Amino acid sequence: MSELSAPVLEAPELMATEEVVALTKRLNYGTWRYQKSWKPLHVVDAEGCYFTDAAGKRYLDFSSQLMCVNLGHKNKAVIEAIKQQAETLPYIMPGYATTARAELSKLLLEVLPAGLEKFFFTTSGTEANEAAFKIARMYTGKSKIIARYRSYHGSTHGSIAATGDPRRWATEPGGKAPNILFSPEVNCYKCPIKHAYPGCGIACADYLEHMIENEHDVAAVIVEPVVGTNGVLIPPPEYFPKLREICDRRGVLLIADEVMAGWGRTGEWFSVDHWGVKPDILVTAKGITSAYVPLGLCATSAKIGEYFEDHYFAHGHTYEAHPLTLAPGIAAIKEMQRLDLVHRSREMGEYLGEKLRALKAKHPSIGDVRGLGLFWAVELVRDQTSKAPLNTMQDKVDGVPMVTEKVAAAMMQRGVTMQAWTSHFVIAPPLIIEKSEIDLGVEALDQSLAIADEFVASLG
């Protein structure tokens, strides 16, 4: 046995749950929150659409964690791919070719919108957006990026500056990345510029064009084609073709952030596929490996790729094209194909949508229910006419206890977990979910909404 061979490790003594939680809380940051109230649950196992805490209680994962475990937990093929890659070639620097890299790149050509043919791999969605911004600026020689208010693009310097939601606010005093502007989002339930579809003629896109014209130096427009955390906002059919035409006419790149909406979530491989629109750059992460390992992707058009044949590509990471992240990506795509999950998302989405819509008739606190595929939002309101939210973005930043969080906590007690935002929930179960599990999740929501209904009743 060589000196470098691994010694046989003794199984570590299992820590008591109290210690696990106490150490986690004391030595780690809880993200996007006040630390004082953080009480992390000790999770010990996860399989299919469920995860299990240390006390043995099982939870239906009704939002696929952070809308990312699209294949469900413990998919065997993905786990096997991680093991095999770890045994073959756990790391090699990005300058080399690897089989995993070549195979994943070839598979991506099958599933991405046509025309996206040159890839830069990252280890998160935010890094993939940073890459997109740099590439767009290098390629166009222009500086400005237009994003939209109801959006999230990640937590690092450029991506948080392009984030329209309040997660951006805290970075501003320290100096937000320059040259990023915001246009109004598409929100036909509550239009930010007070228009009504279809009479509006898609005025929000016209406004965006007005910005491009007047700002002049615009490199790219970035949109979540179906907005994720900020409320599963689905554009009307005319929006994307119109935006594509505006960008083409004005010589501006269109970046589709499909970090959350990609990988079958909306019932197509990518949400832009619903409108047949081809972005110049598509950014994704999360479902690309079902989140088993951290992988992000910035995919550009062949034309952008060609530009860098004779221009310096000034970007890179130690972990770019990390083999251990790429091999499970291959397995995840093949599993999606084998299980026909894009189709399944569409079918099960219709079932889930019908059940969620039925809740609206029963609960005065529900203002809107909307979704595509297995990607749904239930928006809560103080009253259905004014559409005023139960809590505001300012409440969230101020640490005010949110009604949605109380509802989500009640759901957890009933054994179902779901992502709660300021005044809505994002429901996005694993794409392998069964009808009986959808029934269970919706039933828990139905019961837990009593809390929101009581709050609305208390307003008088």
Query: Applying CB under 6 A, which residues contact ligand PLP?
Result: 66, 124-126, 129, 152-154, 224, 228-229, 257, 259-260, 285
Nearest approach in angstroms of CB 34 to ligand PLP is: 20
8 A C-beta contact, residue 198 and residue 191: no
Nearest approach in angstroms of CB 123 to ligand PLP is: 8
Nearest approach in angstroms of CB 185 to ligand PLP is: 13
Looking at beta carbons only, is 112 or 449 nearer to ligand PLP?
112
Nearest approach in angstroms of CB 69 to ligand PLP is: 13
Nearest approach in angstroms of CB 66 to ligand PLP is: 6
Of all residues in this chain, which one has the CB nearest to ligand PLP in the complex?
Answer: 125
Nearest approach in angstroms of CB 14 to ligand PLP is: 30
Q: Which of 335, 330, 297 is nearest to 431 (CA)?
A: 335
Nearest approach in angstroms of CB 427 to ligand PLP is: 15
Nearest approach in angstroms of CB 194 to ligand PLP is: 26
Separation between Cα atoms, residue 189 and residue 429, nearest integer Å: 23
At 191, list the tokens.
């239009």
Looking at beta carbons only, is 287 or 305 nearer to ligand PLP?
287
Looking at beta carbons only, is 255 or 433 nearer to ligand PLP?
255
Looking at beta carbons only, is 130 or 280 nearer to ligand PLP?
130
Q: Which of 348, 327, 284, 322 is nearest to 72 (CA)?
A: 348
Looking at beta carbons only, is 67 or 330 nearer to ligand PLP?
67
Nearest approach in angstroms of CB 424 to ligand PLP is: 15
How many residues would you count in the chain? Answer: 460
Nearest approach in angstroms of CB 153 to ligand PLP is: 5
Looking at beta carbons only, is 322 or 382 nearer to ligand PLP?
322
261 Cβ partners below 8 Å, 6+ apart? 224, 225, 226, 228, 270, 271, 375
Looking at beta carbons only, is 152 or 319 nearer to ligand PLP?
152
Looking at beta carbons only, is 243 or 440 nearer to ligand PLP?
243
